[in-house]
């Protein structure tokens, strides 16, 4: 089989972060949106790892940096980032994760490891076609899809087998 996806193996995560920030700047410029320091910092914090971060986790990191912040600060930044497709909210975790497919106008499928907490975002036309087809069969007009798969990632499966 081919190489594991990034979250499942050691990698230069700083590259993930700087690429995400670069794309964010580019996208905001295109869309005439202001990626203010707070927003950029929140995005960077979200990208600290491939584990989704709760709004209050972000808040704690901000305040620990001396940033005088309250919940609305964080939620407003997260709303902005979601609106511009830079982060996703994981409904089953009440947490946020950086978008791995910015600009692609995609329907994300999230693989959430319940052991290590890492999340891998996929896009899969087979899946989204099947969903649209099923919805259409009921004459339902689809607008948004929440698709979150919980389970065990390959790295954690290997861990388990070594025990």
In angstroms, what is the minimal distance from the CB of 60 to DNA? 10
Rounded to whole angstroms, how far apart are CA atoms 131 and 153? 24
* 70 near DNA (CB under 7 A): yes
Among 26, 29, 36, 157, binds its own copies (CB under 8 A): 157
| Residue-wise DSSP of 53-102 | B-HHHHHHHHHHTT----HHHHHHHHHHHHHTTSEEEETTTTEEEE-SST
Q: Please identify, using beta-carbon distances, which residue of 46 and 119 lies nearer to its own copies.
A: 119
Rounded to whole angstroms, how far apart are CA atoms 90 and 46? 12
Rounded to whole angstroms, how far apart are CA atoms 129 and 32? 32
Residue 39 contact partner, candidates DNA, its own copies, Zn ion, none, CB within 5 to 8 A by sort of partner: DNA
Q: Which residue reads 């407003």 in tokens?
A: 76
Residue 76 contact partner, candidates DNA, its own copies, Zn ion, none, CB within 5 to 8 A by sort of partner: DNA
* 153 near its own copies (CB under 8 A): yes
Contacting residues toward DNA, per CB under 7 A: 33-34, 36-39, 54-56, 67-73, 75-77, 80, 89, 94-95
């Amino acid at each position: 089989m081919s190489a594991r996806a990034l979250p499942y193996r050691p990698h230069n995560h700083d590259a993930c972060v700087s690429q995400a920030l670069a794309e964010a700047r580019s996208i905001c410029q295109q869309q005439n949106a202001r990626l203010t320091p707070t927003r950029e910092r929140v995005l960077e914090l979200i990208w600290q790892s491939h584990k989704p971060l709760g709004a209050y986790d972000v808040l704690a990191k901000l305040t620990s940096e001396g940033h005088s912040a309250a919940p609305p600060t964080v939620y407003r930044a997260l709303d902005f980032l979601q609106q511009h497709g830079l982060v996703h909210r994981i409904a089953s975790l009440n947490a946020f994760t950086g978008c791995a497919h910015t600009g692609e106008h995609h329907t994300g499928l999230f693989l959430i490891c319940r052991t290590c907490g890492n999340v891998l975002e996929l896009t899969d036309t087979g899946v989204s076609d099947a969903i649209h087809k099923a919805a259409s069969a009921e004459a339902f007009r689809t607008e948004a899809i929440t698709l979150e798969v919980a389970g065990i990632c390959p790295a954690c499966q290997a861990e388990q087998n070594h025990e």
